Amino acid sequence: RARAAADPSPPVASPAGVAPAAKSAAHEHHAGREKPARERESTSIRVAVEKVDPLINLVGEVVITQSMLAQRCNELAP
């Protein structure tokens, strides 16, 4: 794990009564919350083409069926 050189925040003076283990746990908890800007701003996912292609085909079939049902309903309406 990278040391203070990789941490952009300035060092903070620790209170006199804090044990080193507690300080380390608090630091790791804080570090776990921070995410790189690239991860926070990402709004896309990666999906294999083999999974997307059948899904797109099914959506197309649903749209066609919906259109056919709407047409039939309009034919039956007085």
Domain of 23 in residue numbering reads as 19-76
**Do residues 24 and 31 make contact, with C-beta atoms less than 8 angstroms apart?**
no
pLDDT reading at 14 higher than 50: no
- For residue 12, being part of any structural domain is answered with no
Q: Within a domain: residue 13?
A: no
| Under 8 Å between Cβ of 11 and 4 | yes
- pTM (2 decimals)? 0.42
Of the listed ranges 1-10, 21-30, 36-45, 62-71, the least confidently predicted one is 1-10
Which candidate, 77, 54, 58, places its Cα nearest to that of 66?
Answer: 58
CA distance 7 to 31: 9
CB–CB of 23/14 below 8 Å?
A: yes
Q: Note the pLDDT of residue 1.
A: 40
By C-alpha distance, which of 4, 61, 49 is closest to 27? 4
Report yes or no on 10 lying in a domain. Answer: no
The answer to whether residue 5 sits within a structural domain is: no
Average pLDDT over residues 28-34: 60
Q: Is residue 49 part of a domain?
A: yes
User: Per the structure block, which two tokens stand in for 26?
Assistant: 């608090």
Higher pLDDT, 45 or 30: 45
Instruction: Using pLDDT thresholds of 50, 70 and 90, give the confidence band for residue 74.
Output: very high
Does residue 38 fall inside a structural domain? yes
Q: Residue 75 corresponds to which tokens in the numbers above?
A: 């034919």
- State the total domains in the chain: 1
Residue 66 in any domain: the answer is yes
